[in-house]
Chain A
Amino acid sequence: MSRSLDKFVRVTANPYSSLSQWKARTNGKIFGCVPMHIPEEIVHAAGLLPVVLWEGDEPFDEGHAIIQPFFCGFVRGVIDLAVKGKLHFLDGIICCDECVSTEAIDFLLRRRGLFDYFEFLFLPADRKGDTSKVYVMEEFERLRASLAQYTGKEIDDASLEQSIRLYNRNRSLLRKLYGLRREKPTVLKAREMYAIVMSSMLMPKEEHNELLEALISELAAKEAIDGKVRLFLSGTLCAAPRSEVLDLIEDTGGAIVDDDLYVGSRYFEGDVPLHADPIESLAERYVNLSLRTPTLVDHEHDWGHQLVEMVNRSGSQALIALPLKNCDPHQLHYPRVRQKLARAGVPEFFIEMEHEAMSLGQIRTRIQAFMEMIGGR
């Protein structure tokens, strides 16, 4: 395994250790951001390390006492890790009204005083017209002022622009890597690809960019293996897909070529356009995000239609949907998405991602049957 890939995999396998070590080494502050739309650039410009919160893979215990089991595994996971003290290296939490479940992270952890700093942004989901953009800018300004108060240091436009450039570079490199995978899907295992994207959420972007550039050069020289069934992944908002399931898909002859996952192409969609006002630029990226997200209202783009286009463009033979169990925004839209896929002749396979142990044997049999069907087309 290459040095870069080894680092990405290690960071995602044990973010507790890597972040604790970073903190001890730098004496810096780490802020956890709730997925999917907190502008990490502002946190970075404040001289803090923004990381995107993750659910972990531990069985729930103490969290059970404060949040009901019908909330999604991601939110329960974050709350459980926090109350058990596993996120002790975090200095602050920045939350937003992404969905009703993510609200719980702020509502339940703030009252317990587990971290020094909490901020809650309200980002309009319906982004039509200037009314919403102006409000988003006000919320981003509020975050800038609040972080400046925390650090005691003003966040000037020049620092913010520098952070935006750094983050744009990371997005651009991840897009390049995805382009490479579309051409030669077997150069990376699926679990490695998601480790790369997830590590971007957990590492300083400066270091991630450097390692990612090296990795892309190495992979460009690698040969692809032919004869695999090209597959597109959709779903897992907020969280990463489970590696065991990805392995099963590959073991049965599949190769993931593209996705619309959050720990995937949603994370690096669209650069921040650099205007004179960096806050306005950040707001523009948010209001112009066009990859259909069920937690955002979109009057123009239809998720089903968009997925059919993405599947065809990537040369995928089928789509595998990976919704998180109890992810209401996803499920509210999915029956109609599924109908669109069926009408367009895109074979679709549905596996709910659960935090708790999943019946992998059963999933393997179902995937095998599905792959035989695809292979026989």
Chain B
Amino acid sequence: MEGKTNRLRTTAEIGKLVARHYVDLNQAHERGLKVAWTCGGGPFLPLLAMDVVYHHAPSYAAWCCGRKVNDEMLRYSESAGYLPELCSYKKVSYAAALQIMGGIPMRPEVMLPKPDFIFGVRNCPLMLFWLDSIARLMDVPLMTIEQPQPATLRDYDLNYERNLAYVERQITQNVIPFLEDVTGRRLDYERLGKLVGIMGRVVELRRYSRELTKNIPSPCTFFEFGMSQAPVMNLAGEEEALGYFERFRAELEQRVAQGIAAVPGEKYRLYWHHIPVWHKIGHLTEKLASYGACLVAAEYSHGEGFPSDPNIYNPEQPIPSIARQIVYSSRARIPEVRDEHLVKLLQGYSIDGLILHNHQTCKYIDIGEPDLLLHVEETLGKPGVMIDCDAVDPSYYSEAEWDMKLKALLEVIDARRKARRSARSESM
């Protein structure tokens, strides 16, 4: 199943950018730099400002999928006692950690350096528990930032200033002294401010680019947008990330101007919920394209878990900017915010139907997926299907399930279109 989609030139750059990131990571100690292992949505900017090179567990798991070593890494961690139902993102890094600690690099091409410390923010509670367990496993210090999670928009608004102050206190009283101690140098606030400024521009470009997929036909599939998360996670705040998104935007604009579709003959515009299936990303893009289906938007790229408001970032106030990013991220998780945002997306991007990735090892985003289907059906009358899968673990993938559910979804979309046409002609 090859060649149905028009792939972007820009996303082809990602492989090289990411490969270089891992070369830098593996050479960090030789260059006298410290290494951190991280997870979740950052914040990475204080690390960059201190010249700490970081390993980001989810990006690493996606990268291992690209190198086709994901299955082997997962089974390796399972053989050490980590059960199959645990988050596959985390299990891939456990495999790397176990190999480092055991001195047995099974896969030298994806090996990582031992970290000097573990660092991360608690988006998902399990992320924090993973950071804690991996710090214990590798016997290195741990530094965390707690991201307060409100349950309602009212609570978010009522507690916004207090939560912002709490996150700022954690950064100034815990994180910065810790980083200064580990690296043996003072934080350069001017440099941090510059990185914050770049981040703001990356966020702006990213937001603008994703709006372009509202066009019919869409110039880009979600999976290519999802891959573009790699420069954000691995190069956040660096000029290179900025350059990438400038080229990405320019290519999308050019496609829109020329009417070039990501999926030629685009017939169905679909929404994707959850993380991409990294180990089948090319295959699924082509499978969908073979039916004329294009994933034009997704929670992962078009949601607010990763902030899309560039006003959050003010180079003059680097610490409050980072704190705002953390607090803002918690807003997207509030069920009522998520539902409302989804309805807006479905309308704004002219979506015909939904695919909900029922990620077998990521409960964080799975919560409420069945409710989402009902909500969308009730409010907009849009059909959707839930498909069992996993971002990293191929053992949860079933070609037959994909074929059956995808065909069912497209048939329902066709049937409803036909019914609408009949209703219109009857009323005329």
Contacts and interface: CB of A to CB of B under 8 A. Distances in A.
Nearest to A65: B370
B274 to A, nearest CB: 12
A71 B366 CA distance: 10
B24 interface: no
A103 to B, nearest CB: 6
Given A67-B370, A331-B86, A103 B125 contact: yes
B128 interface: yes
A328 B86 contact: yes
Contacts, number: 135
A299 B336 CA distance: 36
Interface string A306-346: 00000000000000000000101101111110100000000
B126 A328 contact: yes
A131 interface: yes
Interface residues of A, number: 49
A115 interface: no
A107 B133 CA distance: 27
Interface string B337-376: 0000000000000000000001011011011111100000
Residue from B122, B146, B150 whose CB has the most chain A CB atoms within 10 Å: B146
Nearest to B83: A331
Interface in A240-267: none
Contact of B136 (A71, A131, A336): A336
Interface string A296-308: 0111001000000
B12 interface: no
Contacts of A294: 129, 132-133
B128 A332 contact: no
Contacts of B363: 70-71, 100-101, 104, 328
Interface string B121-160: 0101110111111001100001010101111100100010
B133 to A, nearest CB: 5
B80 interface: yes
Contact of B367 (A108, A120, A328, A332): A108
Contact of A332 (B126, B174, B358): B126
B370 A99 contact: no
A120 B125 contact: no
Contact of A336 (B137, B144, B146, B360): B137
A100 B364 contact: yes
A297 B136 contact: no
A335 to B, nearest CB: 3
Nearest to A101: B363
A106 B151 CA distance: 8
A92 interface: no
Interface residues of B, number: 49
A125 B151 contact: no
Interface string A117-145: 01010101110110110110010001000
A126 B147 CA distance: 11
B173 A332 contact: no
A192 interface: no
Contact of B146 (A118, A126, A332): A126
Contacts of B148: 122, 135
Contact of A111 (B128, B131, B150, B335): B335
B369 A297 contact: no
A98 interface: yes
A70 B370 contact: no
B335 A118 contact: no
A97 interface: yes
A102 B407 CA distance: 35
A158 interface: no
B128 A126 contact: yes
A29 interface: no
B85 A333 contact: no
Contacts of A217: none
A68 interface: yes
Given A71-B363, A131-B170, A131-B173, A107 B368 contact: yes
The 6 closest A-B pairs by CB, nearest first: A335-B81, A120-B151, A124-B146, A122-B148, A332-B133, A126-B144
Interface of B: 80-83, 85-87, 90, 122, 124-126, 128-133, 136-137, 142, 144, 146, 148-152, 155, 159, 162, 166, 169-170, 173-174, 335-336, 358, 360-361, 363-364, 366-371
Interface of A: 65-68, 70-71, 95, 97-101, 103-104, 106-108, 110-111, 118, 120, 122, 124-126, 128-129, 131-132, 134-135, 138, 142, 294-295, 297-299, 302, 326, 328-329, 331-336, 338
30 contacts: A66-B370, A68-B358, A70-B361, A71-B366, A100-B364, A100-B367, A101-B363, A103-B367, A110-B152, A110-B335, A111-B335, A111-B371, A120-B150, A120-B152, A124-B146, A125-B125, A132-B146, A134-B166, A295-B129, A297-B129, A297-B131, A328-B363, A329-B126, A331-B82, A331-B83, A331-B86, A332-B90, A333-B129, A333-B133, A335-B80
